[in-house]
Amino acid sequence: MQKNKYKRIPYGQSNYESVATNNFYYVDKTHFIEKIEDYGSRFLFFMRPRRFGKSLFISTLHHYYDINRKDQFNELFAHTYIGKNPTGLQNTYPVLFFSFGGVQSYGTIENTKLSFYYNIKGDIEIFLKLNQQHINFNDTEIEEILNIQDATTMLTVLIKKLNLKKKCFYLMIDEYDNFGNITLTEHGKEKYEKLTHGAGFLRNFFAVIKEGTLSNRIERLFITGVSPLVMADVSSGFNIGDNISLFPELNALAGFTQKETEDLIDYYVQNNIIKKEDRNKSLQIIKDNYNSYKFSEKATETIINSDMVLYFVNQYIARKEIPIDIIDENIRTDYGKIKLMIVKNNQLNGNFNLISQILTTKQTTAELVKTFQVKDLIQHNSFISLFYYLGFLTIKKIRYSNYVTFRIPNKLIEKIMWDYVRKAVNQTHKLEIHNHELLEQFYEMAVNGIWQPALNYILIRFYEAVSVRDFTLKEVGTKAFLLAYFNLSPFFTTNSETESNKGFIDIFIKPVVEDYEEQAKYFYFIELKYLKTKEINSKTKKKTAIENATKNAILQLNQYSEKFNNKFTKKLIIIISAKELLKLEEI
C-alpha cells in the first residue's frame, strides 16, 4: 500500500514515538522542555482541560529523558527545537511512567483499588525490566517487588531499594486525577472521599511519592491532570511540588496558538487536501468554536483546543469538504459532568442559578483559586475556579489581584453547556419536549416569522412541570429555560443581555445565514417580565401590574430595536408569575 504523500493528522495520538516516526503532522512543543528545566523546582504539576494535548506532551518528556532511548534521540528529535538545542539532560534518567487514565471507577472501592493496583504493577514491571542494568536490580529483587499485593506498598519497597543502591529516577504521572474526578461526578462525594481522605489508598499512594521526593530517589516529577482538586484532597494542598499551570510563559504548552493552527491549515491547503476557497471559512469556524482559552492571568494570546482542530481537519479529509458536525463526541462526553454539578437527588441544586447566570450573561467574576478541596466547592470562588480548570470558563480580564472576570470561551462550549442544562431540566421536571417538533417550529420562526407555536409549546410544558417552589428561579431561571431550548436551533443564534441602544435585551434572536431550502431572516427582541405573587394577589392589582409591565416592556423593546425597525423584526413581550404565563404577545 502506498504511503500518504502528505502528513497524517495525529488525532487521538498520544504516543510521541508513534507521531514522530509515522508521518504524522507534529506541532513542535519541545521548546517548552528547556523552560521547564530552567524553573527552580524539579517537582511539577501541569493542569489543563481534557483533550488539550497533555498526554502527548508528557509522552514527549518521557521519550526525551528516558535513558533507554539514547540511541533513538536523533530519530525522534532531530526535526524538533529540542533536537537542535538539547539541554544536556536528554536520555539521562530511568523513567517510571504511570497513567491513571485506565483505572476503573465503577463498582466498589475495592474494585477501583484492584484496578489501580494492576495499573501500577504493570507500569512498575515495565520500569524494572527496561532499567534493570541502570538500577542494578537482580531477578530476585524484581520478583520480590512484583509479588507485593498492594500498589502503595509496591512503590514504597521500590523506593527503599533504590535508596539503598543510591539510584534515582524521573517519575511521570499522566491523568493523575482521571478516575478520582469520575468517582466524584458519577458516584458521589462519599465514595470519592474513601479514595482521597483518611486511609484512602490514593491518599496513601501520594504520601509515598512525597517521601520519594524528600529522599531524592524521585529526582524529578511531572504530573498532568485537569484540576488541582484531587491533589488538594490527597495531599492537603500542593505540598509535593509546584503547580506551573498558570505561568504565562507556559500558556501555549498544550493546545495550539493561532499561528500553529494557521500553519497546520495552510499545510493541507498547499497539499491540495483543503480547498483554497475553504481556508478562511475553516479558520473562522475554528476561531468561533475551539478558540479563546487563556491559561494565565498575564497571557498575551489565546489558545485553541488542539483536539478539536485535529478532529475538524480529519473530518474534512474524510469528507473532502467542511464537515457539518464540528463537535467531537468525546468532547461532549468529557463535559457531561456539568449535569452532575447542577442535579442532586433528582432536583436542581443551588448551582443551577449560577450556571444559568453564566450562560445568559456569558461571564462571571470570582477569585481564581489555585488549590481547593471538595469541601470548598460550596464556596463561589472554588466552584467557579473548578469550572475554569475544566474548560467551561476562561480568563477574560483581571479586575484586581486574583479577582478575575471569566467568560465562556467559545460557541462549542456554550452549546455543550446548554445541552446539559436542558437535559438536567428535563430530568428533574420530567418534561416531555420533543426536539424534532421544536426544530420544525424554530424553522417557521426563523424563515416565516411564525413564533407562536414554538413559544407556546415551550412555555405550556414549562408551567405543566414547574411548581411554585421551583420559582425561586424567577426571571433568571425562566430565561435560562427558554435559552436552553432556543439554543437547539440551527436557524438562529440566541443571546441574552445583548447591548443595544444604551440598554440590554433580555433575549435577542438573530438569523443564521446558511444554505437552507429557504432563507432565515427574522430577528426577535424579547422582553421578559416576572411579577411577584404579592403584586398580583387581587384582580385589580394583577391588571395594573400587567399593564405597567407591558408599558415598560414596550418602551424598552422600541428603544432596543430602533435600528432594526423593518418587516423582519419581531418584538415580543413575555410576562410571567410563579403560577402562570400572564402575557405573551407581539407589539
Q: Map out the domains of the chain as residue ranges.
A: 30-115+165-245, 258-326, 332-407, 431-586
pLDDT beyond 70 at 437? yes
Assess whether pLDDT exceeds 80 at residue 251. Answer: yes
Helix (H) or strand (E) holding 576: strand 569-576
Q: Quick one: cell of 330?
A: 468525546
Give the C-alpha separation, 62 to 59, whole Å: 5
Quick one: average pLDDT of 65-89?
98
Pairing of strands 581-586, 403-407: unpaired
Question: Residue 514's pLDDT is what?
Answer: 63
CA distances, 332 to each of 357, 416, 430, 466, 527 (Å): 21, 6, 23, 27, 32
pLDDT bucket at 336, cuts 50 / 70 / 90: low
pLDDT of residue 52: 95
DSSP 236-252: TSS-SSEE-TT-GGGTT
- Please report which confidence band the pLDDT of residue 582 belongs to, taking 50, 70 and 90 as the band edges: very high
pLDDT of 474 reads 58
Residue 117 reports pLDDT greater than 90: yes
What span, in angstroms and rounded, lies between the C-alpha atoms of 51 and 253? 13
Lowest-confidence region among 16-25, 343-352, 379-388, 397-406: 343-352
Instruction: Give the CATH class of 30-115+165-245.
Output: alpha beta
Tell me, what's the pLDDT at 425? Answer: 77
Predicted local confidence at residue 503, as pLDDT? 82
What does the pLDDT average to over 373-385?
Answer: 90
β-pair partners for 93? 66
Q: Dmax of the chain from CA atoms?
A: 93
> 290-320, pLDDT tens digit by residue?
999 999 988 999 999 999 999 999 999 999 9
The residues facing 24 across adjacent strands are 8
Q: How far is CA 141 from CA 123, 164, 180, 205, in A?
A: 16, 13, 32, 21
Straight-line distance from the first to the last Cα atom of the chain, in angstroms, rounded to the nearest whole number: 67
- Residue 486 contacts residue 414 (beta carbons within 8 Å): no
Residues 77, 80: Cα–Cα separation, whole Å: 5
Tell me, what's the pLDDT at 278? Answer: 97
Q: What is the mean pLDDT of residues 79-88?
A: 98
More confident of the two residues 345 and 247: 247
Angle between helix axes 109-130 and 189-196 (nearest 10 degrees) is 40
Measure the CA–CA gap between 345 and 342, rounded to whole angstroms. 10
> CA 529 to CA 205: how far, in whole Å?
55
346 CB burial (10 A radius; 0-12, 13-18, 19+):
exposed
Predicted local confidence at residue 473, as pLDDT: 52
pLDDT at 1: 35
Lowest mean pLDDT among 229-243, 345-359, 387-401, 524-538: 345-359
Q: Of all residues in the chain, what percent carry a pLDDT higher than 70?
A: 93
Instruction: Place 2 in a pLDDT band, splitting at 50, 70 and 90.
Output: very low
- CA-derived radius of gyration, the chain: 27
**C-alpha grid cell for residue 492?**
438562529
Chain centroid to CA 541: 48
Smallest Cα–Cα separation from 317: which of 275, 263, 261?
Answer: 275
Q: Which residue has the higher pLDDT, 65 or 2?
A: 65
| Mean pLDDT score of the chain | 90
Contact 69, 19 (CB under 8 A): no
Hey, what long-range contacts does 12-19 have (CB within 8 A, 24 or more apart)?
13/56, 14/55, 14/56, 14/59, 15/56, 15/59, 16/56, 16/59, 16/60, 16/62, 16/63, 16/76, 17/59, 17/63, 17/72, 17/76, 19/56
- Mean local confidence (pLDDT), 87-111: 95
Least trusted range by pLDDT, from 104-118, 137-151, 313-327, 418-432: 418-432
Instruction: Report angle CA 155, 160, 161 to the nearest 5 degrees.
Output: 100
Q: pLDDT tier at 92 (50, 70, 90 boundaries)?
A: very high
Q: State the helix-helix crossing angle for 201-214 and 151-164, rounded to 10 degrees.
A: 10
Element (H, E) at 156: helix 151-164
Q: How confident is the model at residue 355 (pLDDT cuts 50, 70, 90)?
A: confident
CB proximity list for 453: less than 8 A, separation 6 or greater: 441, 444
Using pLDDT thresholds of 50, 70 and 90, give the confidence band for residue 4.
low
Which residue type does 586 have? E
Instruction: Please state the φ and ψ torsions of residue 238, each to the nearest 5 degrees.
Output: -85, 70
Q: How far apart are CA 475 and CA 535, in angstroms?
A: 15
Output the nine-digit C-alpha cell for 383. 466552584
> Is-contact 54 254, C-beta < 8 A?
yes
pLDDT over 90 at 431, yes or no: no
- Tell me which of 34-43, 257-266, 329-338, 519-528 is least confident: 329-338
- Answer yes or no: are the C-beta atoms of 510 and 489 closer than 8 Å: no
Q: Give CA–CA dist 287/302, Å, rounded.
A: 10
Residue 168 has what pLDDT? 97
Query: Do 323 and 312 contact (CB within 8 A), yes or no?
Result: yes
User: And the C-alpha cell for 506?
Assistant: 433580555
Average pLDDT estimate for 39-66: 96
Asked if residue 480 has pLDDT above 90, the reply is: no
C-alpha count within 13 angstroms, C-beta hemisphere, residue 99? 11
**Residue 494 to residue 408: CA distance in whole angstroms:** 15
What percentage of the chain carries pLDDT values higher than 90?
67
Distance CA 114, CA 96 (A): 20
Give the residue-averaged pLDDT of 367-371: 93
pLDDT value for 420: 81
395 grid coordinates: 480568563
C-alpha cell at 65: 529523558
Tell me 530's DSSP state: E
- The pLDDT of residue 330 is 81
Q: How far apart are CA 147 and CA 135, in angstroms?
A: 19
Give backbone dihedrals phi and psi of 80, rounded to 5 degrees, phi first: -110, 170
Query: What is the pLDDT confidence band of residue 517, given thresholds at 50, 70 and 90?
Result: low
Residues in the chain, total: 587
pLDDT-based confidence at residue 337 (cuts at 50, 70, 90) = low
Rounded mean pLDDT of 55-61? 98
- State yes or no: pLDDT of 405 exceeds 60: yes
- Quick one: cell of 555? 418602551
Question: pLDDT value at position 522?
Answer: 93
Q: Average pLDDT for residues 496-503, to the nearest whole number?
A: 80
| Paired sense of beta strands 218-225 and 169-174, if any | parallel
